[in-house]
Amino acid sequence: MAKQNPSDKESSAYFVSSDIPAWIDKSTVAKFSDKDFQRIISFFVFLSPCKSLSARADFSEFYRWSAPWKKPYKLNEQLKKASSNPHLLFSAKNYGAMESALEKSGLKDNFPNDIIKERACFYDVQKNQFMSLFYHIRNSFAHSRFAIREDYDDWTFIFEDVVGQSKKKLSARMILKKSTLLKWIEAIEGGEKAYTE
């Protein structure tokens, strides 16, 4: 549901999520805790490449990338290519644009019913789609707003990020595969590599 927020200068409306959604399974961590899960948590929470979230965040030194988003590396294209859906990103320039982005991504209504197709809808807080995505994944883990579902030989991560203590202003919803998250980690930790079509 869209709520009016007169103090939001970018828009007069934003999308609100429930305090503790029913889809959040409290047994998730115990059930799915293995070395892959630990690696994913370690990367996105403790070793996050987002400077505002981790003292260790430094692409140039820690991950050996000089200019990851520019030619010839085009890390954003490498990461899209590593997912099962190269058109998985739906970003909003402000909170007021979230509802439209949620509709386009299919993550607005009955979330998280359709967990087959990977996609991510988020407020582009970092002004770089993948850095914003990593920012919201980190927050989802840190605030336990995630669930995991078994999907044949893979896991599907369901993420949600919200802002605010009383009203949960929605800033991201994401459906991502464990295999994709691991490929992203390997690509970044592997260091500079030129993008090939």
192-to-69, 99, 187 alpha-carbon distances in Å: 11, 36, 9
Give pLDDT tens digits for 170-184.
899 999 999 999 999
> Can you tell me the distance from the alpha carbon of 123 to that of 90, in angstroms, rounded to the nearest whole number?
9
Q: Tell me the average pLDDT of the chain.
A: 84
Q: Would you say 117 and 29 are in contact if contact means Cβ atoms under 8 Å apart?
A: no
What pLDDT does residue 9 have? 42
What pLDDT does residue 50 have? 82
Kindly state the tokens that stand for 140: 């989802």
- The alpha carbon torsion through 90, 95, 99, 102 (nearest 10 deg) reads 30
> Can you tell me the distance from the alpha carbon of 125 to that of 89, in angstroms, rounded to the nearest whole number?
14
What pLDDT does residue 57 have? 64
81, pLDDT greater than 50: yes
> Can you tell me the distance from the alpha carbon of 53 to that of 171, in angstroms, rounded to the nearest whole number?
16
Q: Where are the domains of the chain?
A: 14-65+88-177
What pLDDT does residue 16 have? 65
Give pLDDT tens digits for 31-79.
777 899 999 999 999 888 887 777 666 666 667 788 888 999 999 999 9
Give the list of residues 6+ apart from residue 135 with CB closer than 8 angstroms, or none.
48, 50, 52, 53, 125, 126
21, pLDDT greater than 80: no
Kindly state the tokens that stand for 163: 């802002």
Q: 5-9, 23-27, 47-51, 110-114 — which is least confidently predicted? A: 5-9
Higher pLDDT, 52 or 99: 99
Closest CA to 124 of 92, 152, 163, 172: 92
Q: Would you say 149 and 113 are in contact if contact means Cβ atoms under 8 Å apart?
A: no
